[in-house]
Amino acid sequence: MRKRPYSFLQIPAILGVAMICLSLPVVAQTAAKQKPVKGRWMDSSWSPDERASLVLKEMTLDEKISLLHGTGMEGISPISPLAIHSNGGAGCSIGVPRLGIPNIQMSDAAYGVRQSGENGRYSTALPSNVGAAASWDPNAAYEYGALIGRELRDQGYNMSLGGGVNVTREPRNGRTFEYMGEDPILAGTMVAQLIRGTQAQHVIGDIKHYALNDQESGRNAVNVNVDKRSMRESDLLAFEIGVAQGDPAAVMCSYNRVNGDYACENSYLLTDVLKKDWKYKGFVVSDWGGTHSAEKASAAGLDHEEPGEYFYGDPLKKAVQSGKVPMAEFDEHVHRVLRSMFASGVIDDPPQKSVVDVMGGLDVAQKIEEQSIVLLKNEGNQLPLSSSVSSIAVIGAHSDVGMISGGGSAQVDPPGGNAIKPRGQGRTHWQDEIWFPTSPLRSIKAKAPQAKVVHDPGTDPSSAAAVAKSADVAIVFAYQWESEGMDLPTLGLQHNQNELISAVAAANPHTVVVLETGTATLMPWIGQVSAVLEVWFPGSRGAEATANVLFGDVNPSAKLPMTFPKSDADLPHTTIVKPPKESIPNEADPNHWKQVLEGLPAFQIKYDEGLKVGYKWYDAENKPVLFPFGYGLSYTTYSYSGLKVTPGDKVTVSFTVQNTGNREGGEIAQVYASLPASTGEPPKRLIGWSKVRLKPGESKEVSVEVDRKYLSIFNVQQNAWQLVPGDYNIMAGSSSQALPLKQSVTLQ
Ligand code: BGC
């Protein structure tokens, strides 16, 4: 069961209650309807902190409480009559109109603005976040975030709930598509730019889910056991970089427990690390139903409860009145919310509802997808296809009508509804497989107008093989759908798709596989096919972008942000730990949300692989992989030479990359380091990269400045990053397993 706030259709039913509430002390109205407010806090020449302090002094206790919680959501919490002021998004917190403080209108926005279907609006679907991470391009991430910020504003929202950056410890996690891969430096850098892009549009940005919400199974109950050094150097490092470089106005704490305490009442995570060590100035908002107490959560550093007021309404008010929550602690929560509102510009420049720039959004989505598609195999230069090819079989995965998207609270609604039958159902439904109306068949036909292009649904491997046999080339589209609220049982393809690919490959030696997945995929058929493209969940213009890569109008340049293992058995945990019955809320009980809020019995996961996340695991365990982290081919080739490492405040790593083929392309040149053996670190870690565009034959010197923190370990005794003096091996090349340049350097 899943939740959403009141839709507009329900509003008349609650209008009566709302009228009664007009006499409540806090009455929300949109800022636009207010007379201009006079007050020194409205003067933007003061700093956000000063402005927050000034307005805080004017506020009553009820007004303060109101800014610290939401107005409810069906199936998760009771709904306040004030929910009538919701803009239709996942959250709405009531502001203080008499003081010029607007409501906070929150919308999910992982790869685009959610709930546009039920609100009668339009949103662009960008490629899934993991796909954007495959571009390794911080500018693309910024554009991604900026598009989300613009569309949020156009739809009347002033806060994004995007910014997912949990590192991929468990690639079967159903939300892997919403995150940015397995490396904390890549993920943190990319999410920071996404947040900056969003906030530049004067929208409150968010980073989530803090922290270690690495599987969906039993997420409201699970207790993650992990040692401090491992979390600081992996999962938390992604957030540390995201916070330092992206400066998000909000951090969403996660559902799970970490080392005993729920993340949203975990003083180590919220206060010691986030607010003290990282000097975070924004506010912490709980994931929806992730608040479990008033006093404990407040003391631990939770600033705002969503979606309701089960703890941060009356219970918090009473705790403040009785002195159980000190006034200074309480005021700090309010100060943080206000500060974020001033800092992000939502008070000085509130959103004006407008028409989304559909065409502009489609162009951005396509451009980013073209940079996100990873070419994994290309035997005998099968790709690019020639536009003079005479016959093509297009097979599988609804490739005649659409391409798959990621589900859950990230879901963007396709225009016209789901592209597969039954069509035209309006809003999307929780955990339906949703296909965007971007047709690979049509895009392929457009690229090769003279060719005979035939389609087969791929539901019967033998008839697909018969269709493939008579074509020059067979392109099999295969998918793995993912969603919040579930995990994958395996990284292997489902619905008979492995059999389909093998049958087609046996019939046609020119078989190309296009994978629409949100995580790594197992490929038992890899030796049988000639080419493989990973296009992820490709967004609104997925088909056009895919066809551009298939036919060589775009030379692929993306690299994997996560390892593709050979089998589930090679993962650190061969199966996902499932919750026992008592840790699962009983959805038959209409009050099951109370069981969640009041705390389900914990079950345990031990991340005993510790520091060995992603490629660090396979390296350390000497496990061969299918495709390594950082891997991706191009239609041209590159060579690397002349490595120079210069120690200093930053360590400068320079080398030359040459395009040795005959097409222009973009190469993501990567730099890794092995730390001194005494540190006990996995064999290597990514420390930087540079994306360089090169014409055929052209060479460029690449220079990567490496932050010393990226070469450090986290010393738990000193609670500080420490660069351990010794010999460091610096390596550069085209993937984590193709590093032709190596140089040792002594650092202290
Ligand atoms: C998800 C969050 C989301 C929130 C609001 C939760 O279930 O975990 O990522 O922002 O719902 O929809």
More confident residue, 427 or 464: 464
**Cβ neighbour number for residue 446 with a 10 Å cutoff:** 14
* Average pLDDT, integer, range 614-622: 98
pLDDT of residue 381 exceeding 80, the answer is yes
CA distance 608 to 344: 39
Contacts of 56 (CB under 8 A, 6+ apart): 64, 331, 334, 335, 338
CA distance 23 to 260: 43
CA distance 54 to 338: 10
CA-nearest of 638, 627, 705 to 666 is 638
CA-nearest of 609, 578, 518 to 174 is 518
pLDDT of residue 718: 98
Pair of tokens at residue 396: 């599988």
- Separation of CA 573 and ligand 1 centre (Å): 26
Q: How large is the angle between the packed helices 184-199 and 138-154, nearest 10 degrees?
A: 40
Of the candidate ranges 1-15, 304-318, 383-397, the one whose mean pLDDT is the lowest? 1-15
pLDDT of residue 283 exceeding 50, the answer is yes
CA distance 353 to 573: 47
- Separation of CA 517 and ligand 1 centre (Å): 21
DSSP code, position 44: T
- Separation of CA 180 and ligand 1 centre (Å): 17
| Nearest protein Cα to ligand 1, atom 7 | 288
pLDDT of residue 421: 79
Helix (H) or strand (E) holding 267: helix 267-267
**Cβ neighbour number for residue 284 with a 10 Å cutoff:** 26
CA-nearest of 723, 743, 721, 685 to 185 is 685
Helix (H) or strand (E) holding 480: strand 473-480
CA distance 516 to 534: 7
How are beta strands 511-517 and 473-480 bridged, if at all? parallel
**Cβ neighbour number for residue 598 with a 10 Å cutoff:** 11
- Separation of CA 254 and ligand 1 centre (Å): 9
Of the candidate ranges 12-26, 76-90, 201-215, the one whose mean pLDDT is the lowest? 12-26
| Nearest protein Cα to ligand 1, atom 2 | 287
- Separation of CA 394 and ligand 1 centre (Å): 36
Among 87, 113, 161, name the best residue to mutate to test ligand 1's pocket (greatest count of ligand atoms within 8 A of Cβ).
Answer: 161
pLDDT of residue 387: 87
Pair of tokens at residue 393: 């079989």
Residue 440 and residue 393 in contact, taking contact as beta carbons nearer than 8 Å? no
pLDDT of residue 431: 85
pLDDT of residue 20: 33
pLDDT of residue 621: 98
Burial of 60: CB neighbours in 10 Å, binned 0-12, 13-18, 19+:
exposed
Tokens 């060590």 correspond to 277
pLDDT of residue 349 exceeding 80, the answer is yes
How are beta strands 511-517 and 531-534 bridged, if at all? parallel
| Nearest protein Cα to ligand 1, atom 6 | 288
| Nearest protein Cα to ligand 1, atom 8 | 287
pLDDT band at 423 (very low <50, low <70, confident <90, very high): low
| Nearest protein Cα to ligand 1, atom 5 | 90
CA distance 266 to 296: 9
Helix (H) or strand (E) holding 37: none
DSSP code, position 275: I
pLDDT band at 25 (very low <50, low <70, confident <90, very high): very low
CA distance 617 to 573: 11
Torsion sign (Cα): 58, 62, 66, 71: negative
pLDDT digits (tens, 9 = 90+) for 120-148: 999 999 999 999 999 999 999 999 999 99
The number of the ligand 1 atom at minimal distance from the alpha carbon of 485 is 7
pLDDT of residue 19 exceeding 80, the answer is no
Residue 29 and residue 84 in contact, taking contact as beta carbons nearer than 8 Å? no
Among 288, 304, 412, name the best residue to mutate to test ligand 1's pocket (greatest count of ligand atoms within 8 A of Cβ).
Answer: 288
Among 409, 482, 596, name the best residue to mutate to test ligand 1's pocket (greatest count of ligand atoms within 8 A of Cβ).
Answer: 409
pLDDT band at 620 (very low <50, low <70, confident <90, very high): very high
Of the candidate ranges 120-129, 429-438, 488-497, the one whose mean pLDDT is the lowest? 429-438
CA distance 561 to 190: 11
CA-nearest of 356, 311, 378 to 555 is 378
Q: How large is the angle between the packed helices 327-344 and 48-56, nearest 10 degrees?
A: 130
pLDDT of residue 624 exceeding 70, the answer is yes
Contacts of 263 (CB under 8 A, 6+ apart): 209, 210, 211, 212, 213, 253, 254, 255, 256, 257, 269, 270, 290
- Separation of CA 81 and ligand 1 centre (Å): 22
| Nearest protein Cα to ligand 1, atom 11 | 288
* Average pLDDT, integer, range 80-98: 98
Pair of tokens at residue 241: 């970089």
The number of the ligand 1 atom at minimal distance from the alpha carbon of 164 is 9
Residue 88 and residue 398 in contact, taking contact as beta carbons nearer than 8 Å? no
Pair of tokens at residue 29: 């109205």
pLDDT of residue 30: 46
Residue 526 and residue 492 in contact, taking contact as beta carbons nearer than 8 Å? no
| Residues acting as catalytic residues | 287
pLDDT of residue 552: 98
Of the candidate ranges 368-372, 405-409, 589-593, 720-724, the one whose mean pLDDT is the lowest? 589-593
pLDDT of residue 546: 99
CA distance 321 to 68: 16
Helix (H) or strand (E) holding 618: helix 615-620
- Separation of CA 288 and ligand 1 centre (Å): 6
pLDDT of residue 137: 98
CA-nearest of 249, 274, 270, 253 to 340 is 249
pLDDT of residue 36: 85
- Separation of CA 162 and ligand 1 centre (Å): 9
What percent of the chain is predicted at pLDDT more than 90?
92
**Cβ < 6 Å from ligand 1: which residues?**
90, 108, 161, 208, 287-288, 409
* Average pLDDT, integer, range 353-363: 98
CA distance 116 to 128: 17
The number of the ligand 1 atom at minimal distance from the alpha carbon of 208 is 9
> What angle is formed at CA 165 by the lines to CA 254 and CA 212, rounded to 5 degrees?
40
pLDDT band at 10 (very low <50, low <70, confident <90, very high): very low
Among 176, 216, 484, 596, name the best residue to mutate to test ligand 1's pocket (greatest count of ligand atoms within 8 A of Cβ).
Answer: 484
Paired strand residues for 305: 69
pLDDT of residue 82 exceeding 80, the answer is yes
CA-nearest of 633, 434, 631, 420 to 539 is 434
The number of the ligand 1 atom at minimal distance from the alpha carbon of 254 is 8
The number of the ligand 1 atom at minimal distance from the alpha carbon of 3 is 12
* CA 341 to mean position of chain CA atoms: 23
pLDDT of residue 16 exceeding 80, the answer is no
What percent of the chain is predicted at pLDDT more than 70?
95
CA distance 555 to 631: 15
Pair of tokens at residue 637: 């080739």
pLDDT digits (tens, 9 = 90+) for 448-485: 999 999 999 999 999 999 999 999 999 999 999 999 99
Among 287, 412, 596, name the best residue to mutate to test ligand 1's pocket (greatest count of ligand atoms within 8 A of Cβ).
Answer: 287
| Nearest protein Cα to ligand 1, atom 3 | 409
pLDDT digits (tens, 9 = 90+) for 656-698: 999 999 999 999 999 999 999 999 999 999 999 999 999 999 9
- Separation of CA 287 and ligand 1 centre (Å): 6
Residue 83 and residue 72 in contact, taking contact as beta carbons nearer than 8 Å? yes
Round the average pLDDT of the chain to a whole number and report it: 94
Residue 516 and residue 538 in contact, taking contact as beta carbons nearer than 8 Å? yes
| Nearest protein Cα to ligand 1, atom 4 | 288
